[in-house]
Structure 1
Amino acid sequence: MERVHIYHTNDIHSHFENWPRISAYLREESKRLEQENETVFLFDIGDACDRVHPLTEATDGKANILLLNEVKYDAVTIGNNEGIGSSKKQLNHLYDEANFSVVISNLYDDKTGYPPEWAKLFHIVQTKSGHKIGLFGLTAPFPTSYKPIGWNVKNPDEVIGDMLELLSPLVDSIILLSHLGIGEDKRIAEMYPMISVIIGSHTHHLLPNGEIIRNTLLAAAGKYGQYVGHIELEIDGNKIRKAEATVKETATMQAPKNEKLVIEGYEKKGHQLLMEQIIATVPDTFSVSWQGSSELVMLGLEALKEYAHTDAAILNAGLFMQPLIEGTVTKDALHEILPHPMRILRCTLNGKDLIRMIYEMEKNRLFLRNFPIKGIGFRGQIFGEICYNGVTYDKMTGEVCWLDKPIEPDKQYTFATVDHFMFIPFFPTIEIKGKNEVLFPYFIRNVLELYLKKHYPADKTTD
């Protein structure tokens, strides 16, 4: 009987404050178990990167890969933050210096039809006794986001059968690295009992002792590096006789020397790299208020209109984390102001549906003004005031106007906002009735950057 140890992380999202402990723990555990002649594998299940951290933003995620290299992962898969948080060029070079295999089975180049050169469709690892484990990886399919970047992302069922057929003759057991979410993991376990273990992520679920569904063990280690997962397999020849999952809380791990300095160093390095990139020179400070309209939000609305070529734009004030200060504007300042990995949405509605959407916004206005919100790309604190440009609403009469003219029910109207508005549940008309186009490749901070470069060019004397 052979004992095999699998350590796994997921959805770290550039929470580097947990990384020094995780790195030290995984290196020490690997060394200890290797000395005991036991087999150890290390896997990451995606969303290791998140551009909310200045070091990730400044290096297009390459700094994250260098950190993963420290612990010598055997394989990783990608999450949506790597996949759609990067341009095609950025993703094609993200893993240039990786010392591990990247396994992704449902992502293809939209032009060539082939898998990306930096990844494997599957990967095989072997235990000390010779037991072969086949790995394949699946990432959450967001075709409306992947396709404009240049990728074709397939639904899980389009590829799982092929992967099992490919791997079954070659290996003794199969593990899925799943960046799909707990719901999909459970469904896959029910439908594909040939998969021995599904290591999950994406929905940030924590399974402290795993979960068995039919023949499959499900494991998951929460979010932000708060836990590290540990799976123990007992293997007898070509059979897994026993599979158990546990987690280790990062806060309980021994802190390495100079932990605080190391964490601060990640932040400092990111800020330094971003501050070296000068964007513009603004003559005045643009103030911001989350509970009302403000100069910076108005500037953002103008930037959206210009970029999306629309007559109107809508944003929530909570997106803008701090004011734009008079003087030299750097990439660091814009990243601090707008840390969200959000792209611009161009939405077209007929007049009747546009009025309905504005009514949805007005109904939710007071509730959202101080509403704390997390996830779906939002990296702020509260949603804040809903602000219009090009659209007006009369509280007394309920009339909605477009460029100061009454809206015609059958006419088509196009406005710009952030893709976040399509994902949150408060304004369903956008998703249900809108003709929606997500504009690539820029995030909202890059759109503001383009506007500032054009209208407030950098003062060369300050270079």
Structure 2
Amino acid sequence: MTEKITILHTNDIHSHFENWPKIRRFLLAQKEQLEKQDDSSVITVDLGDALDRAHPLTEVTNGTANVDLLNQIHYDAVTIGNNEGLTNTHQQLNELYRSANFDVVLANLLDIKNKLVPEWAEPSKIITTKNGTKVLIIGLTAPYTLTYPILGWQPISPEKVLPKVLAKNKGKFDVAVLLSHLGINQDRKLAKEFPWLDVIIGSHTHHLLKNGELVNHSLLAAAEKWGHYIGRISLEIDDKHKIVAEKAETIKTDELDSLPSDRQEIKGYEVHGEQLLAKNKLAKTTMAMTTSLSGPSKLVDEGLKAIMEKAGTNIAMLNAGLFLQNLPAGVVDRNILHKMLPHSMHVMRVGLNGYDLWRLVMEMEKNHNFLIRFPQKGMGFRGTYFGELHYAGIEFDKAEGRLYHNGKLVLPENHYEIAVPDHYLFIPFFPTIDIVGENKILYDESLRDVFGDYLAKHYPLNS
């Protein structure tokens, strides 16, 4: 007698609530339908990056609104993505899952203070099906070694932690499933190195495997991003609890039925978030500040001053595409600020000698025209185009190829400090920052909050 195990999976929703009503209906209907069958068991999982602070409701609740939505499914296991782990403070992440009705499975992130898996997670979980098949669920997230320690977390590489988790569970499971927020290349690598992983469900790189992919002994599955797809894996298990057949498929949410109430629900999440954000007043400006992808920009000028104040430098660089809308005259609240700067990025202080500063500017000048309309996405950027680069504290003489700082020639042996968004460390256009920069990411505040603090200081509400 065979048993059927269905694994339903979601990933990288990124607060795209426009697809949530359809996803919820599908998952709940599938669970109800399949669980009625005597030889059928259902496991539901989410692969992380369910939240994104680009959505106002996520921003104002620090992601707890997203957890409330996940609770509607009652997932069997959820792992975290970099958006849960790196856009929340240590305390916010510790509090994020307090009301969760699902288990968070995460094996490769430790609290730096005690070197233990956080109390809101467990490295693995074993689910026993109706017919007694034991399914081991392991969760792994992308180990950002540069940024997680700043927040008090110690990431561990998958290659180091997987052998320990598998050894600890040796003899206790029949089927091993990895919830991977690592990316497609890492998934393929792990499938070759760890043949005990029967199923690897992938995310993070937003890849789509419509009908799965077999690598070594592992079935790889993935359902793209933003709730565009829902994943479904079907396993046939024999009476010895071994897999005899397997299939992965994806369901396109656009092809699922809508209800008249969906639009109202989706809009309600946005309106509620904006209303809550708008209650927090920050500053009062006497004149409008405008921006554009190219040309002079009062808003970018103020942004340059803001990041210089934060980093304690007298040089700064900023791209105009960061500002998604103008700042009108009058009271500035958190909702206005969030709409203008929805990005998940921070200010970074970069130390360079004079020659390397000149080389960095040369990289920027070379990419200048190309980047104005470059459709940037990801790595913290939540806008549309990169936009024109602006400088403060330095002037570049294109005719002579010389760089000046406050009217004086930049000298090769002198040391200079520059304020930039940490985004510049992760994009490929300015390699000097990564190769030779003395980089310190100021992770205590988002770029949005840095600009809000600057406005509150220089344009106070009571002015």
TM-score of the two chains, using structure 1 as the length reference: 0.98
The letter of the residue matching 1:29 is Q
CA contact (8 A) 1:293 1:317 kept: no
Matching residue of 1:406: 409
Matching residue of 2:274: 271
Matching residue of 1:16: 17
1:426 alignment partner, SS class: coil
Question: Of residues 46, 66, 75 in structure 2, which corresponds to 1:64?
Answer: 66
Matching residue of 1:160: 162
* Structure 1 residue 443 corresponds to structure 2 residue 432: no
Matching residue of 2:341: 338
Deviation at 1:36, TM superposition (A): 2.3
Alignment of 1:19-168 (within 5 A): 19-37=20-38, 38-168=40-170
Matching residue of 1:432: 435
Distance 1:71 1:128 in 2: 20
Matching residue of 1:300: 303
Distance 1:114 1:216 in 2: 29
CA contact (8 A) 1:24 1:256 kept: no
Deviation at 1:257, TM superposition (A): 3.9
Question: Of residues 183, 193, 196 in structure 2, which corresponds to 1:194?
Answer: 196
Deviation at 1:284, TM superposition (A): 1.1
CA contact (8 A) 1:115 1:121 kept: yes
Distance 1:118 1:454 in 2: 38
Matching residue of 1:284: 287
Distance 1:344 1:378 in 2: 13
The letter of the residue matching 2:461 is A
Distance 2:385 2:99 in 1: 38
The letter of the residue matching 1:78 is I
Distance 1:120 1:260 in 2: 37
Matching residue of 2:4: 3
1:318 alignment partner, SS class: helix
Question: Of residues 204, 217, 234 in structure 1, which corresponds to 2:219?
Answer: 217
Deviations along 1:336-390, one digit per CA (max 9) or x if unpaired, are 0000001111111111111011001001101111111111111111111100011
Deviations along 1:198-230, one digit per CA (max 9) or x if unpaired, are 000000000001011111100000011000000
Distance 1:425 1:219 in 2: 29
Distance 2:407 2:24 in 1: 58
Deviation at 1:169, TM superposition (A): 2.0
* Structure 1 residue 364 corresponds to structure 2 residue 367: yes
CA contact (8 A) 1:44 1:76 kept: yes
Matching residue of 2:180: 178
Question: Of residues 326, 329, 332 in structure 2, which corresponds to 1:329?
Answer: 332
Deviations along 1:104-124, one digit per CA (max 9) or x if unpaired, are 000000111111111011111
Deviation at 1:330, TM superposition (A): 0.4
The letter of the residue matching 1:256 is L
Deviation at 1:57, TM superposition (A): 0.4
* Structure 1 residue 320 corresponds to structure 2 residue 326: no
The letter of the residue matching 2:113 is K
Matching residue of 2:232: 230
Distance 2:107 2:452 in 1: 36
Distance 1:335 1:452 in 2: 14
Deviation at 1:238, TM superposition (A): 2.2
Distance 1:162 1:326 in 2: 58
CA contact (8 A) 1:108 1:115 kept: yes
Over 6 Å off, 4+ runs: none
- Identity over the aligned pairs, expressed in percent? 48
Deviations along 1:171-198, one digit per CA (max 9) or x if unpaired, are 1121110000000000000000011100
The letter of the residue matching 1:137 is G
Deviation at 1:59, TM superposition (A): 0.5
Distance 2:184 2:177 in 1: 15
Distance 2:462 2:244 in 1: 69
1:441 alignment partner, SS class: coil
Question: Of residues 388, 400, 423 in structure 2, which corresponds to 1:397?
Answer: 400
CA contact (8 A) 1:122 1:136 kept: yes
Deviations along 1:80-105, one digit per CA (max 9) or x if unpaired, are 00000110011001111110000000
Distance 1:355 1:89 in 2: 40
Deviation at 1:459, TM superposition (A): 3.0
Question: Of residues 350, 353, 365 in structure 1, which corresponds to 2:356?
Answer: 353
The letter of the residue matching 2:35 is E
CA contact (8 A) 1:122 1:134 kept: yes
CA contact (8 A) 1:293 1:385 kept: no
Distance 1:3 1:290 in 2: 55
Deviations along 1:124-147, one digit per CA (max 9) or x if unpaired, are 111110101111111001111101
Structure 2: unaligned runs, 5 residues or longer: none
Deviation at 1:170, TM superposition (A): 1.4
Distance 2:274 2:163 in 1: 46
Distance 1:36 1:29 in 2: 12
The letter of the residue matching 2:410 is I
Farther off after superposition, 73-82 or 31-40: 31-40
Give the aligned CA root-mean-square deviation in angstroms.
1.0
Distance 2:85 2:110 in 1: 11
Deviation at 1:256, TM superposition (A): 3.1
The letter of the residue matching 1:253 is L
Distance 2:126 2:404 in 1: 61
The letter of the residue matching 1:12 is I
Distance 2:69 2:84 in 1: 15
Structure 1: unaligned runs, 5 residues or longer: none
Question: Of residues 409, 418, 425 in structure 2, which corresponds to 1:422?
Answer: 425
